[in-house]
Amino acid sequence: MPTPAHRVVIAVFPDVDLLDVTGPAEVFALANRVTAGERYDVRLAGPAAGPVRTFAGVRLYADVAFEDVGEGVDTLLVPGAVDVVDDGVVARIDGTVVEWVRATAPHARRVASVCVGAHVLAAAGLLDGKTATTHWSTAAQLTADHPNVTVDPDPIFVRADRGRIWTGAGISACLDLALALVAEDLGEETALSVARQLVMYLKRQGGQSQFSVPLSRPAAGRRDIDALRLWIADHLDDDLSAAALASRMCLSERHFARVFTQETGISPAAYVEAARVEAARRLLETTDLPLDQVAATSGLGSAETLHRAFRRRLATTPAAYRRRFRTQPA
């Protein structure tokens, strides 16, 4: 007997971000291809059936009007749109979309937002008392507008309410979110096959973080410092003390520390710890390795040091982090 299709309904509306819609749709289509089956049935729903102009200027076609979607939705996916203001962007909250999401969500097995679509879920009351993420540029707005929502601007996606509510980070993170949904539905092997088709990591190298440690710091003016940062990422279990790094740079320890901090805005010790914590996060997300092995592989040495670093940098424990971000339970 064939596996029933997951009915995915993606909201579309004027000025919606194009990739927020087409990225997940492509992931679900590729999941159908690699499984040689119709696992996902994707439909676009809009205020009215017909063409919808996106922010990119490209027109999408809504298969069905909001009022005709009905019940039996497996996955309700809500993308976002922004308005440009003098000091940046603000998430657009379309009342028609909010009301439809509020009415439709109770009939859906799960609801997911992409990018600033989290603001729509929050306005519909779906995120109260939950942790959520959104594009980093509107995280402060989400916090201010919805004090009952715990906003974490760092993760690529957040899974809440026992997997019923998902929120994704900005723009290309829609692919990571959709892959995680496929992994939950069809298993990580299928999701990995889809990721290979997309020529991307099933879990991006930055782990759940929107920015990996090298990308989160500004580019250095000195090429040798940038090269050192990349070298550190590949040698986390080496001796990365300030003295060892200074020796590698052929500088005195004092001069090296001053130059590194000047160029990156962070001390060598703090940078190394951040890089090691990021590596530990990836291992916790993607493997079942015991904590002492995670600590050793990431260069943190011992489980005790791993715990201290996680408490200091993430205000959580490695075990709690794994429970929260492991796509498939370890």
3-state secondary structure of 311: helix
Measured between alpha carbons, how far is 322 from 330 in angstroms, rounded to an integer? 8
Query: Which residues have CB under 8 Å from 318's CB, separation 6+?
Result: 280, 284, 291, 294, 303, 306, 307, 310
Residue 16: closest CA among 43, 64, 53, 62: 53
Identify whether 115 is a catalytic site residue.
Answer: yes
Query: Of the residues 45, 62, 78, 115, which is catalytic?
Result: 115
CA torsion through residues 179, 184, 188, 189, sign:
negative
3-state secondary structure of 153: coil
Contacts 24+ apart (CB under 8 A), 316-325: 318/280, 318/284, 318/291, 318/294, 319/291, 321/281, 321/284, 322/284, 322/285, 324/159, 325/155, 325/159, 325/207, 325/208, 325/281, 325/284, 325/285
3-state secondary structure of 250: coil
Q: Is the distance from CB of 228 to CB of 251 less than 8 angstroms?
A: no
Angle ∠(274,275,278) on CA atoms, nearest 5: 85
**Token reading at 293:** 């092995």
Residue 222: closest CA among 253, 251, 254: 251
Measured between alpha carbons, how far is 52 from 60 in angstroms, rounded to an integer? 5
3-state secondary structure of 74: strand
Measured between alpha carbons, how far is 55 from 76 in angstroms, rounded to an integer? 21
**Token reading at 183:** 């992994």
Catalytic residues: 115
